[in-house]
Structure 1
Amino acid sequence: MSVEPRRPVHPVPYGELVPVTVHFDDLDALGMLHNARYPLLVERAWTAYWHDRGYGFDGDWAAAGDMCNVIKEVQVSYERPLTRPGHYAAHLWIERLGRTGLTYGFRLCSADGTETYARGHRVLVRVDPQALRPTPWSDRARATAAELLRPQEAAEADAA
């Protein structure tokens, strides 16, 4: 697992900016970030975010707790091409926190958060490692996730 280096990032009105790095070999034949790399960079940012808060996975699903989850849905909208390797950020937040599922929102953006290259969401469901059926998030995970909940007024402004 590759963890991005920590650098100071600019504040955002909600959520958190997590640094990500685009490498030359992430670009496609047209010199743009390959479409499959956007969700990969966001996944790495989420992994770093949760890892920094004491969550991880060492190969034992029974001991993974809240990290034993599956992706139900991913949606990405590509806003503009990203054409250069370098330092960028993933703006991360939580749209909805349910009993067994949660919806992450994200933007892949410039390091300061001012330019957006792609945005989207991902729905996760926590599962029991033996039954592979939905199971509730722990109180600890709910408290950690609640720190990133997007305010309702921000969601309404973006929808307008």
Structure 2
Amino acid sequence: MTVEAPPAPTAVPYGLLMPATVHFDDLDALGLMHNSRYPLLVERAWSAYWERHGIRFAGDWTEAGDACNAVKELRITYEAPVARAGTYAVHLWLERLGRTGLTYGFRVCSADGTVTYARGSRVLVRLDAATLRPTPWTGDFRAAARELLPPRA
């Protein structure tokens, strides 16, 4: 028995494609991915991206650094149903990088990036662990985040 490799991601003009797996238990009774699973795929893709850059939440707010943040807003539009388990991708990019907050965009898409199933954006605010008030992103975080900003026209 041979196993076919997933298609290689197509180059995206900005941001990056992160591999994502839809499992059987992500599907609802009709065999479609449940709407609550799309943001979960996106969260897992972001976590994997930040872990590549040494930013990881390990359960301690004080040690979390830039991972000490909260969601201010989440918007998502569903464009086509994911109708089977398998290999997909999440296209990630930054729309805005502010002093204490950021807005990122995402698409849940086919593994090669050509088919879009859902798209949206999320606003995060970095928090001070002691006060839970907004606080600036670190220089290391900002450097890693800039990689995902679209090129300016």
TM over 0.5: same fold?
Answer: yes
Residues in 2 aligned to 1:87 and 1:131: alpha-carbon distance in whole angstroms: 41
Q: SS where residue 44 of structure 2 aligns?
A: helix
Which letter does structure 2 place at the counterpart of 1:64? A
Calculate the TM-score normalised by the size of structure 1.
Answer: 0.88
For 1:133, the equivalent position in structure 2 comes to 133
Residues in 1 aligned to 2:129 and 2:32: alpha-carbon distance in whole angstroms: 38
For 2:101, the equivalent position in structure 1 comes to 101
Deviation string for 1:47-80 (max 9, x for gaps)?
Answer: 0000011111222211111010000000000001
Over the residues paired in the alignment, what is the CA RMSD in angstroms?
1.3
Deviation string for 1:91-122 (max 9, x for gaps)?
Answer: 00000000000001000000000000000000
Residues in 2 aligned to 1:152 and 1:100: alpha-carbon distance in whole angstroms: 21
Residues in 2 aligned to 1:35 and 1:111: alpha-carbon distance in whole angstroms: 19
Unaligned runs of 5+ in 2: 1-6
Q: SS where residue 29 of structure 1 aligns?
A: coil
For 2:3, the equivalent position in structure 1 comes to none
Which letter does structure 1 place at the counterpart of 2:117? Y
Which letter does structure 1 place at the counterpart of 2:141? A
**Contact preservation (8 Å) 2:8, 2:112:** no
Residues in 2 aligned to 1:13 and 1:95: alpha-carbon distance in whole angstroms: 14
What percent of counterpart residues are identical? 66
Moved over 6 A (4+): none
Which letter does structure 1 place at the counterpart of 2:88? Y
User: 1:129 offset after TM fit, Å?
Assistant: 0.5
Aligned pairs, how many?
147
Over 3 Å counting, the alpha-carbon distance change for 1:143 and 1:115 in structure 2 is same
